[in-house]
Structure 1
């Protein structure tokens, strides 16, 4: 609608220029101007803008045949007013368009984030169950002493290597999907991230009060979101 309005002004002027060789804006005396302004040169009819040809016909039909080469000042003023209105509408539509683009981009970004969060939530429960398997493999590997491994024979070594390889592959799979271990040893205790299972007197600790001296069970985070707190021993007074 906006483009049609702007096109109309150019079309109206161009068509009139083509049809009238010596077209000029009419210079009125006070009396002539008053009589011209009494005529209704509205550019809209029933709420819709007239086409260039229709408006030209409306203007020409209101003036005498000997004045066909003149544009009544009132009609020209209507064109100027309409041009200003279209400029204002154009600016308003442009502003709304830019706001709509910004809002669409925000909606797109929120949608992507919500989708990513949904994916993380979907596998979170499954990851927690697998952590118990990882813990058991860690305990199994750490429980075998070197001397027992040497005296256990080939079968013992093969079993140990198989468990170790399974543990390694599982750790790589965790990392591939954003599931990483959290060992907060020597860090300041944070009740939102860590679970204190016992306290160590400061006289027997290397870390300052309020810090973690020992991590008895490592924690895990999924895509930087904690899903299992690390179990730790905290230095106390």
Structure 2
């Protein structure tokens, strides 16, 4: 019997050692999970923050792209308008001619109709003339080519317009060339 008890005691001791080994392995795994837990939490928070930044960047990209497309559509006619401005200037000069004969008056009436049509078409495209004469000088709208001393006008007032300026929507496409009182 003693042998049996010894074997039984040995078996129990081995079992205890195995259980202790398993418990120590489980404890080590739990320790790793506990140690990795904050790391995983930090990684998760970092991934969420990164996703939010990416979403915000994408929304900003979409907004910028939409804005650029709207601007392209809004100012698409700028090139052709810039090419038409000298034509408008020449039509205005033609209309300043004094007419004495009936034929010249008829030609000027035709030129007046063409200019009016052109003005209406440009107005529908968003082109507006810049008001200058009698207005305060604004370097964003006017280009001063001459300054003169004037008793009739306040200093900084536009006294003459040499070339009409134009805006397309809110963008100046050609400033007015003006004379300004000192």
TM-score, normalised via structure 2 length: 0.66
Does residue 88 of structure 1 match 2:36? no
Q: Structure 2 residue aligned with 1:231, among 164, 177, 181?
A: 177
Instruction: Provide the residue aligned with 1:109 in structure 2.
Output: 63
Paired residues for 1:206-221 under 5 Å: 206=153, 208-221=154-167
1:63-115 CA-partner distances (Å, limit 9, x unpaired): xxxxxxxxx56555655666554443332222111111211222233334445
Q: How big is the shift at 1:32?
A: 11
TM-score, normalised via structure 1 length: 0.53
Q: Name the CA distance, whole Å, in 2 between partners of 1:38 and 1:142.
A: 105
Q: Name the CA distance, whole Å, in 2 between partners of 1:111 and 1:222.
A: 21
Q: How big is the shift at 1:119?
A: 6.3
Q: Name the CA distance, whole Å, in 2 between partners of 1:177 and 1:189.
A: 26
By relative contact order (CA 8 Å, sep 6+), the higher-ranking structure is 2
Gaps of 5+ in 2: 1-16
Gaps of 5+ in 1: 1-30, 40-71
Change (3 A) 1:89 1:175: farther
* Root mean square deviation of aligned Cα: 3.8
Change (3 A) 1:157 1:89: same
